[in-house]
C-alpha cells in the first residue's frame, strides 16, 4: 500500500481491510488445532496402533513433514498478521483524519490539496465606512479563519503521516510470508515448493535450548506450539528430564518423557525414589491391562511427586483433579487415590452419559505424615502444595488453549480436595493470578483461611461434611466451609459417612461430585 493523496485516503475501505485481518486471524487460530489432530494420527502410525509396516511408517514421516510446513506457515502468518493489524490501525486513523480534514475544510470554505496543503481565499476588505468595532470584528474573523485553516492543515498532515505508517506496515507484512515462498503476492505452486521454502527458512531445524526454568505456562505452550513435528520428535527422543516438568506442555508429551524416566528409575536399583517408581509402574500396568488410558503427567520420584491421569487430559471435555490429605504417600496410596479418581470418573459419566472425562490422581505435593506433625499446624506443606497446584492447573489451561474453540481448548476443570488437601486448594487460590478451575469441591475439610467461598476464586464452590467425620469440625486452619455464611453449595452425605468414605460408590456424595465435574449439578 503506497501513501496516496488526501482524497484517496479518505475513501479507503477500512472495513474491508479489517475483514481481511479478521479472516487471517481466524486461519492462524484454526491451523494449530488441525495440526494437533494430524500429529495425533502421526503418533498413532508411528506406534503402529492402526497401520503397521513400512507403509504406515512412511505415512507417519509424511505427516511429520506436513507438520513442519504447517508450523512454518503458521509462524509466517502470525508474524504477518501482527504487521497487518498495525496496518489496519494506522489506516483507520488515516481515513478518519482525512475525512475530518476534508469536512472541516468544506465547512470553512477553504481548499485542501492532495498533499495536505490548505489554500485560504483572499479576504475582502472591510466595508466602506465601517465603524472601528466592525473593522476589528472583520479582522478577528479573518484571523480565526486562518487559525482554523491551520488546524485543518494539521489534521491533514496527521492523516497523511498515518497513511505513510500504514503503507510501511503493509510493506513489512510481506516479509514473513517470503520465508514460506510467498513473493510478490504469488504463493508456491504446490506442497513440494512450499516444503522446500519452509525447509530453507529453517522449519526442520531442531531448537537448541528448552525454555528457561522461569518460563510461564503460556510461554511454554507457545514455545511448544512453534516447534515443527521433526523438532519435537528430536526432543522426545532425547527426553531431557526438564521437558517432563514443564507446565504448559500437552499431557501426552509429559507422559512420553516421564515414562522414559520411569523406566530409567526401574532399571537402577539404587535410584532415588525407586519405591515411588514401583508404585507408579504397578498402577500404570493395572490400568492399561484393564484397557484404560493413563498419562504420567508429573513424575519426580526422588521428591515423591506424581500425578497420574486416568483418561486423556489433552482431549477430555471435563477434567477433575483430586488432591489428597495428610498421611498419604505415593508408594502406599497411589492405587487408592487412583480408585477414587476412577470413582469420580464413573460418577461423572453416570451424570452425563457419553461425557469425555479425565480424572487426575494428584500427588503434586508431599502431604504431612500425620496429625501430630508440626508441619500440619503451620501449613507449610500446603503452601508448597498450593504453588504446585496453581502451576499445574495453569499448565493444563495453557496446554489446552491451542486445541481450538469450545471445550476442546477450554475444558471444564474441577478440583476435588479431601481433608488437608482443602488447605492446599486454599493456598493455591492465594497465589498470583486467578485459579484455573471452574469448580472446587471440599471434602471433610479441617477448615481453611478464607472467610467465604469467593476467596477460592472458582465460579462454583461445593462442600461435603458428614456428622460422622470429626475432622470437618476441627477448624484447625480457619472456618469450616460447611458453615452457611461461607457460601458453599452443600453436597449430600449420609450420617454414617466416615472421613475417608466420601468417594465410596455406596455413599451419595460421589454421585454429586460427578454432577459437579460435568456441570450437571446446580449450585444451591
The predicted model gives 463-475 an average pLDDT of: 91
Query: Could you tell me the maximum CA-CA distance found in the chain, to the nearest angstrom?
Result: 115
Question: What pLDDT was estimated at residue 45?
Answer: 74
| Residue in 473, 513, 471 with CA at minimum distance from that of residue 491 | 513
The predicted model gives 490-512 an average pLDDT of: 95
- Phi, psi of 418, deg, nearest 5: -120, 135
**CA–CA separation, 283 and 290 (whole Å):** 11
Number of H helices, E strands in the chain: 15, 10
Residues in contact with 97: Cβ distance below 8 Å, sequence separation at least 6, in sequence order? 155, 156, 158, 159, 162
Residues in contact with 6: Cβ distance below 8 Å, sequence separation at least 6, in sequence order? 98, 101, 102, 112, 113, 114, 115, 116, 156, 159, 160
Would you say the C-alpha torsion 139, 142, 144, 150 has a positive or negative sign?
A: negative
**CA–CA separation, 19 and 85 (whole Å):** 11
- 116 with 159: CB under 8 angstroms? yes
Neighbours of 216 (CB within 10 A): 16
**CA–CA separation, 45 and 83 (whole Å):** 38
Write the pLDDT tens digit of every residue in 50-62: 666 667 667 777 7
**CA–CA separation, 445 and 475 (whole Å):** 8
∠ Cα 221 308 216 (to 5°): 25
pTM: 0.77
Tell me the pLDDT band of 311, cut-offs 50, 70 and 90: very high
Of 140-144, 237-241, 261-265, 279-283, the least confident: 140-144
168-177, 202-211, 344-353, 514-523, range with greatest mean pLDDT: 344-353
Would you say the C-alpha torsion 374, 380, 384, 390 has a positive or negative sign?
A: positive
**CA–CA separation, 241 and 397 (whole Å):** 22
Q: Tell me, what DSSP letter sits at residue 189?
A: S
206-210, 268-272, 359-363, range with greatest mean pLDDT: 359-363
Tell me the pLDDT band of 183, cut-offs 50, 70 and 90: confident
Judged by DSSP in three states, 504 sits in coil
| Residue in 354, 371, 364, 409 with CA at minimum distance from that of residue 389 | 364
**CA–CA separation, 135 and 394 (whole Å):** 74
Show the domains of the chain with their CATH numbers.
6-178 (1.20.1260), 275-518 (3.40.50.1820)
Instruction: Give 140 or 256, the one with higher predicted confidence.
Output: 256
**CA–CA separation, 40 and 431 (whole Å):** 34
**CA–CA separation, 448 and 177 (whole Å):** 54
Write the pLDDT tens digit of every residue in 359-408: 999 999 999 876 555 445 456 888 999 999 999 999 999 999 877 666 67
Neighbours of 404 (CB within 10 A): 17
Question: What pLDDT was estimated at residue 57?
Answer: 67
Quickly list DSSP for 399-443. HHHTT-SGGGTS-EEEEEEETTHHHHHHHHHTSSS--S-SEEEEE
Tell me the pLDDT band of 109, cut-offs 50, 70 and 90: confident
Amino acid at each position: 500500500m503506497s501513501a496516496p493523496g488526501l482524497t484517496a485516503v479518505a475513501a479507503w475501505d477500512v472495513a474491508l481491510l479489517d475483514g481481511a485481518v479478521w479472516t487471517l486471524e481466524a486461519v492462524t487460530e484454526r491451523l494449530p488445532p488441525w495440526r494437533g489432530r494430524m500429529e495425533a494420527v502421526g503418533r498413532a502410525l508411528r506406534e503402529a496402533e492402526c497401520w503397521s509396516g513400512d507403509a504406515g511408517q512412511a505415512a507417519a514421516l509424511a505427516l511429520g513433514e506436513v507438520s513442519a510446513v504447517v508450523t512454518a506457515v503458521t509462524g509466517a502468518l502470525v508474524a504477518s498478521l501482527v504487521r497487518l493489524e498495525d496496518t489496519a490501525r494506522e489506516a483507520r486513523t488515516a481515513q478518519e483524519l482525512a475525512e475530518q480534514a476534508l469536512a472541516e475544510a468544506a465547512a470553512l470554505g477553504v481548499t485542501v490539496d492532495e498533499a495536505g496543503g490548505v489554500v485560504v481565499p483572499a479576504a475582502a476588505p472591510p466595508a466602506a465606512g465601517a465603524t472601528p468595532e466592525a473593522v476589528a470584528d472583520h479582522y478577528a474573523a479573518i484571523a480565526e479563519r486562518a487559525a482554523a485553516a491551520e488546524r485543518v492543515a494539521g489534521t491533514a498532515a496527521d492523516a497523511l503521516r498515518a497513511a505513510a505508517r500504514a503503507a510501511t506496515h503493509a510493506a513489512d507484512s510481506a516479509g514473513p510470508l517470503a520465508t514460506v515462498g510467498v513473493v510478490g503476492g504469488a504463493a508456491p505452486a504446490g506442497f513440494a515448493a512450499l516444503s522446500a521454502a519452509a525447509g530453507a527458512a529453517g522449519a526442520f531445524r531442531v531448537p537448541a535450548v528448552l525454555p528457561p526454568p522461569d518460563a510461564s505456562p503460556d510461554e511454554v505452550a507457545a514455545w511448544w506450539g512453534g516447534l515443527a513435528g521433526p523438532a519435537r520428535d528430536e526432543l522426545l527422543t532425547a527426553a531431557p528430564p526438564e521437558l517432563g516438568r514443564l507446565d504448559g506442555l500437552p499431557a501426552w508429551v509429559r507422559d512420553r518423557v516421564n515414562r522414559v524416566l520411569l523406566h530409567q528409575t526401574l532399571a537402577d536399583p539404587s535410584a532415588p525414589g525407586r519405591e515411588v517408581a514401583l508404585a507408579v509402574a504397578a498402577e500404570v500396568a493395572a490400568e492399561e491391562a484393564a484397557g484404560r488410558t493413563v498419562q504420567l503427567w508429573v513424575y519426580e520420584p526422588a521428591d515423591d511427586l506424581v500425578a497420574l491421569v486416568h483418561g486423556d487430559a489433552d482431549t477430555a471435555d471435563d477434567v477433575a483433579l483430586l488432591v489428597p490429605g495428610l498421611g498419604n504417600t505415593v508408594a502406599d496410596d497411589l492405587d487408592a487415590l487412583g480408585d477414587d479418581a476412577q470413582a469420580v470418573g464413573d460418577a461423572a459419566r453416570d451424570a452425563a452419559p457419553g461425557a469425555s472425562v479425565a480424572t487426575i490422581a494428584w500427588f503434586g505435593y508431599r502431604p504431612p505424615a500425620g496429625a501430630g506433625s508440626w508441619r500440619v499446624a503451620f501449613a507449610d506443606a500446603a503452601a508448597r502444595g498450593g504453588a504446585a497446584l496453581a502451576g499445574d492447573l495453569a499448565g493444563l489451561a495453557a496446554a489446552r488453549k491451542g486445541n481450538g474453540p469450545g471445550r476442546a481448548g477450554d475444558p471444564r476443570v474441577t478440583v476435588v480436595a479431601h481433608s488437608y488437601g482443602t488447605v492446599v486448594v486454599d493456598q493455591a487460590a492465594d497465589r498470583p493470578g486467578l485459579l484455573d478451575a471452574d469448580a472446587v469441591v471440599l471434602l471433610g475439610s479441617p477448615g481453611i483461611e478464607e472467610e467465604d467461598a469467593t476467596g477460592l476464586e472458582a465460579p462454583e464452590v461445593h462442600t461435603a461434611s458428614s456428622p460422622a467425620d470429626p475432622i470437618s469440625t476441627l477448624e484447625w486452619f480457619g472456618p469450616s466451609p460447611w458453615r452457611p455464611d461461607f457460601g458453599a453449595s452443600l453436597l449430600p452425605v449420609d450420617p454414617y459417612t466416615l472421613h475417608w468414605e466420601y468417594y465410596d460408590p455406596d455413599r451419595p456424595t460421589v454421585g454429586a461430585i460427578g454432577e459437579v465435574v460435568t456441570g450437571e449439578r446446580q449450585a444451591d
